[in-house]
Structure 1
Amino acid sequence: MPTTNTPTTKTLREGSARKRAAILMAARELFLAEGFDRSSVDAVAARAEVSKRTVYDYFGDKQSLLKAVVDAIGESLITTIRQTLDDTLTDRTEAADLEDVLVTFSMRIATGMLDSSEYATLQRLVRAEFGHLPHGCYNAMADTPDEALAERFAAFAAAGLLHVPDPRLAADQFIALTFGVALDRLGSANAVEDARVRPIVVEGVRTFLRAYRTR
């Protein structure tokens, strides 16, 4: 049975950013290569070139270290999503632009984030080590991109471009209709390698707009 012990609650040191990053990278590499159970704190410390005590001082215990690895990858992906939102879905005031900008956003996420090594690493760790992660930690993090997209849809509604009584529901449905379909059907959302992705995204955007575009 997977361990279900909760992470430590002791006061942790912030410490050196360089050492913290080295420990996270070492743990990430070992957890992926050897698995959580077979990766010792001693091995993490040796790979990071720090003392075992430093690992404990910075992260408390091995389970908390795994959570920190998952959180760090997730935060990196969320930063990518927010940047993509800023680049593609900001200050759009023409209804005629909506289809193009929503397709552009979806394709950027599909090819730049969902097929990235960071996303693949996150999925592998969460699937393999789910029993060692605190309950709900990944789900809470996974909600953040949806909330960010919901904020943009609410802004479009305020500008009179969309009718979205529930922006979060609209965001969930948009994701399901676009790159979510590509992932479910094709196992990938990389339009560079698979020409079937873009037509799926375009039709998903059009379906979304038929439901939510202001009449």
Structure 2
Amino acid sequence: MTNHVETKVLREGSAQKRADILAAARYLFLVEGFDRSSVDAVAARAKVSKRTVYDYFGDKRALLLAVVEEAGHSVVVSIQRAIDDCLTEVENLERALIAFCEQIVTLTIETSDYSALLRLVTVEGKNLPEATYDWLDSAPEEGIANRLAELGRMGMLEVPDSRLAAQHFSALTFLLVFNNMGRARDREEMRTKKTIVDGVRAFLRAYAPRTT
């Protein structure tokens, strides 16, 4: 019994150390940049030994990849939550798709994961393996593609290629909002709403079931 308790406590402690190291690395990579951030600085900020950082992540590039993957997974979780909330029981497809996009934008703005992900991928891209970009391109779209395919099977859309449909939908709606962020704050909400509504309607014109 005693050994079982000790093992459980150690495992929980290890998970916390991993989270502390990731948080420290993310902060330093964003503030100081990858090249100027040392493993010693990450260890000091995380309050662990340098050896512990290497034991958990191997090297600094692997640590950067882990930070990017963590932020990417958080974005994927936000998208799936929006799918569950808005696209599970659909009565009016246009309203449901608009609500879905608005929730993604809201969840993204409320957390720093998307901006951190974008910044790290843009600025530190040379230090990331090519496979990272393949995953970042495909993972967020997978849940959307699956749901659009299901809506197609229900007769609400005509979706011959669900992955391409997901790419079109994202590009017309919330990705366009993200690209336009940073404009005048007092006009941002109005512009966001219009961008989403216009994008959803353009998507529906392209993917609405064909009538005979």
TM-score (norm 1): 0.85
Q: Which has the higher contact order (CA 8 A, sep 6+)?
A: 1
Q: Deviations over 1:70-112 (max 9, x none)?
A: 11111111111111111001132x4xx0000001001111232
Conserved? CA contact 1:110–1:191, under 8 Å: no
Report the equivalent of 2:165.
170
Report the equivalent of 1:83.
81
SS at match of 2:43: helix
Query: Which of residues 108, 121, 129 is equivalent to 1:113?
Result: 108
Report the equivalent of 1:49.
47
Gap change, CA 1:25 and 1:192, over 3 Å in 2: farther
Structure 2 runs not aligned, ≥5 long: 1-10
Q: Percent identity?
A: 52
Conserved? CA contact 2:169–2:203, under 8 Å: yes
**Counterparts of 2:136 and 2:191 in 1: how far apart (Å)?**
30
Conserved? CA contact 1:111–1:191, under 8 Å: no
**Counterparts of 1:191 and 1:148 in 2: how far apart (Å)?**
33
Report the equivalent of 2:117.
122
Please show how residues 172-187 of structure 1 align to structure 2 within 5 Å. Answer: 172-185=167-180, 187=182
Displacement of 1:184 in angstroms is 3.7
Query: Which of residues 26, 29, 32 is equivalent to 1:31?
Result: 29
**Counterparts of 2:83 and 2:51 in 1: how far apart (Å)?**
41
- Counterpart AA for 1:84: A
Please show how residues 183-202 of structure 1 align to structure 2 within 5 Å. Answer: 183-185=178-180, 187=182, 193-202=188-197
Report the equivalent of 2:72.
74
| Structure 1 residue 101 corresponds to structure 2 residue 96 | yes
- Counterpart AA for 2:17: K
Gap change, CA 1:129 and 1:170, over 3 Å in 2: same
**Counterparts of 1:18 and 1:116 in 2: how far apart (Å)?**
20
| Structure 1 residue 141 corresponds to structure 2 residue 136 | yes
How many residue pairs get aligned? The number is 199
Q: Deviations over 1:146-176 (max 9, x none)?
A: 1110100110111111111111111111111
Conserved? CA contact 2:181–2:188, under 8 Å: no
Gap change, CA 1:191 and 1:204, over 3 Å in 2: farther
**Counterparts of 1:187 and 1:173 in 2: how far apart (Å)?**
23
SS at match of 1:76: helix
| Structure 1 residue 151 corresponds to structure 2 residue 149 | no
Conserved? CA contact 1:88–1:105, under 8 Å: yes
**Counterparts of 2:182 and 2:159 in 1: how far apart (Å)?**
30
TM-score (norm 2): 0.86
**Counterparts of 1:150 and 1:164 in 2: how far apart (Å)?**
9
Report the equivalent of 1:9.
none
Displacement of 1:180 in angstroms is 2.8
Structure 1 runs not aligned, ≥5 long: 1-12
Gap change, CA 1:172 and 1:114, over 3 Å in 2: farther
**Between Structure 1 and Structure 2, which shows a larger proportion of helix residues?**
2
Over aligned residue pairs, what C-alpha RMSD do you find?
A: 2.3
Report the equivalent of 2:206.
211
| Structure 1 residue 65 corresponds to structure 2 residue 60 | no
